[in-house]
Chain A
């Protein structure tokens, strides 16, 4: 969406204007579903073709929103708090009053996961096949949906939690807690990888930016502020502002549009102005706005590969058009909105074969294929006792005097304070050594030992001796040259007293 005049603003354009000015195919994204049964939660599949909605009163439906084909519709008759698709639209999980239940595409109940007690939020990690849930008990649980094993359960110790999101690029789960902290979890750590005090009240919504590989995070708190964080340095938020209304919900689109639903309106901000650090507590320039008075808002989700934003609220679900929000080019080997049943089956098998082990989830997913840690073979042993042939190569080169020490010297020069420290230590050492040397030098036992020692040829000592000799020779040479140059270059009145043979 672009405006031409200086006085025009993109946020002035309403949904009706957008719908009227675009094609019929694209205008299909704009929908209003009026439904009973409380605030609705909405989730899309990874390819953006299918949508799952669940109302708080237990109305659940999954359908292909493009063709309008309903897959399943259930009235569960109990409190439902969240819904998510599993690997594709063939299975979905619902967080119900007591447990998490898994249904297949036709709405047949397959499993009830009794270890997930009173779940409030669900997330599915597609590359690890993990279903993560967090609930009123404050436990974060990971269930492997391919083997059925409970992979990890973490006690957050921060009370009931209603805010969860995942970073799709490293599969780290972000939780927002009642005391204002945001914690980042991986299955292999019993404690949060990052703990961040983000707000002065409960955290109400967290969202991670996909378009920059999870570099930015937005949080909204009950204290009425929205904050943007740079995940590389957690010190201060990049920007924070106070939107109208307190319980803001956030969602970040594939192309980096940030939607904030609060106070009866949906505001969309576009990049790059979101990311620029800004000290004043004011929102970034508005890109689009849409009034949505049916409060409370329960969820906000962008549709992958479409310019559609789905809003789940008290009176149903509305889909609005946000031009420029979705990724236009999909990769059919990853997520294809147009795949058929055969391709879907093929992908399911392939992704099961490529399932990444859950213990490889880390903050930095690129650690694989990196350099190996240094070997521990000679660690903790007295270096004098390790035979020459078994020492590491660098060590042997050092002994032989062939190692390239240019880098070491460079780093020495850089680290000024450390070298100063070393100077002190070496001086102290030297004094100590001299002191020891003075005492009892001529004792018979010492003399005897010294004589004994003479015959032991330590390659290190030999090399050191050679090295010293070489250094001495070099110093001599430089001294001589310096002397010569000084003689030739600086003629002085005293030159006449030099002895000339």
Chain B
């Protein structure tokens, strides 16, 4: 007796039952059925990396309208698209980045440049300028335009607060109707009072304070940076400066983390950005090094996982929090020095205001596809991302992923900077070899940033 069974594949179980049905698929996970699985996956990962570079076209549009450098950007609370910008010719403009048009335009808001801008609530803007005035504007759609004067109709400020000295920065409390301004003094104002209610300047400080920012989640904490290379923390409940650190070089901008209240980001003149934990101010938690010139502005993404910085080197960089190198680099031929940067509230777009008077809109993820994405496309994108992540250590794929085209002056400057740093390091090393043991210990880079801490 013999048992014989021969393979047969009846078509009925392998073909669609009715026309239009999907073809049934069969899987055999035996590795022998998938020769070159790894090699093919690598090729797929390489293609995915190349596609990412191919499709990375981050620039979306330039919002025009200013005739001088844009120094301040401020996004409207509870809005994704609206952004207010102010320029050196004393003009304040409210843009709608989605429809690419101006919602409001206040020419001659200040004499000279507008140095600070913030939102009191969804409809009112506070601006300050070098003309020592703080002005509050109503920019809602139904705001009456003042047409009593000849010429183009101009909105009139709701309130004018006379300040003392050239004002550098303004920021509004996230809940209460108070705001802080900085000149050589740091002052707290009430919206309903025409004189400052508090002066919380650090006692021995005489230099100008360039930025003040309230902590968004712990709103009575205020931070400021000054031209005397200091970073100061204030508490408006006690009404005085709590802590101060002196750094190697002065900072140009600061930004509080939106998700982690103790984190603060400083954009420094020494080409670096620093994040600090305000509970331990003696060392920064991370140094972010890539700019080849002074960093002039920075802003956190609303997710708190990345942030954008703009620099004197005419580039915009997008950093991952905690990863101190290899940021995404954005640049265009016509963009001059970037003076202001901002993330939009949906964390998908980045705005930059630059010396050439334009506000530019960029994608936060350079190769992201805008518009409707089908489920199939989405799954393909996710698969490609997983492949890139898995194979990023491969030499060729990693190289494709890392390489960026940057303008020649920036490239050369980075090269020069590397050479200088290398020379310094070698010199230090040699000097150390010729000193008595233990007399000059190498100092960690993070320990060098802060010179003194005072309280």
Contact = CB atoms under 8 A, between A and B. Distances in A.
A170 B38 CA distance: 12
A327 B33 contact: yes
Contacts, number: 141
A291 interface: no
7 smallest beta-carbon distances between A and B, as pairs: A26-B8, A338-B14, A331-B28, A26-B6, A387-B429, A329-B28, A354-B40
Given A1-B3, A455-B434, A457-B435, 11 more contacts: A25-B8, A171-B36, A307-B7, A327-B33, A328-B7, A333-B25, A343-B23, A356-B40, A365-B35, A368-B39, A457-B436
B67 to A, nearest CB: 50
B38 to A, nearest CB: 5
Interface stretch (A2-10, A57-65, A484-492): A2-10
A309 to B, nearest CB: 12
Nearest to A321: B6
A305 interface: yes
Interface in A453-469: 455-458, 462
A25 B2 contact: no
B27 interface: yes
Nearest to B37: A365
A372 B394 CA distance: 9
B23 A340 contact: yes
Interface stretch (B41-49, B113-121, B283-291): B41-49
Query: Which of B28, B44, B425 has the largest count of A CB atoms less than 10 A from its CB?
Result: B28
Interface of B: 1-11, 14-15, 23-36, 38-40, 42-44, 47, 391, 394-395, 425-426, 429, 432-437, 442
B2 A366 contact: no
A127 interface: yes
Given A1-B4, A25-B10, A323-B4, A211 B23 contact: no
Contacts of A327: 28, 33
A482 B34 CA distance: 63
B94 to A, nearest CB: 47
Given A22-B4, A331-B28, A457-B437, A338 B36 contact: no
A148 interface: no
A440 interface: no
Nearest to A19: B6
B32 A213 contact: yes
Nearest to A22: B6
A366 B38 contact: yes
Given A329-B26, A368-B38, A368-B42, A456 B4 contact: no
Contact of A360 (B39, B394, B437): B39
A353 B38 contact: no
Interface string A368-382: 110010000000000
Query: Which of A1, A23, A333, A368 has the largest count of B CB atoms less than 10 A from its CB?
Result: A368
Contacts of B435: 457
A355 interface: yes
A35 B198 CA distance: 107
B6 A307 contact: yes
Contacts of A331: 26-29, 33-34
B8 A356 contact: no
B33 to A, nearest CB: 5
Contact of A355 (B1, B24, B43): B43
A457 B10 CA distance: 82
B185 to A, nearest CB: 45
A65 B44 CA distance: 34
B25 A365 contact: no
A388 B430 CA distance: 11
B2 A2 contact: yes
A262 to B, nearest CB: 25
A334 interface: yes
Contacts of B6: 18, 22, 26-27, 29, 307, 321, 323
Given A127-B36, A332-B25, A337 B9 contact: yes
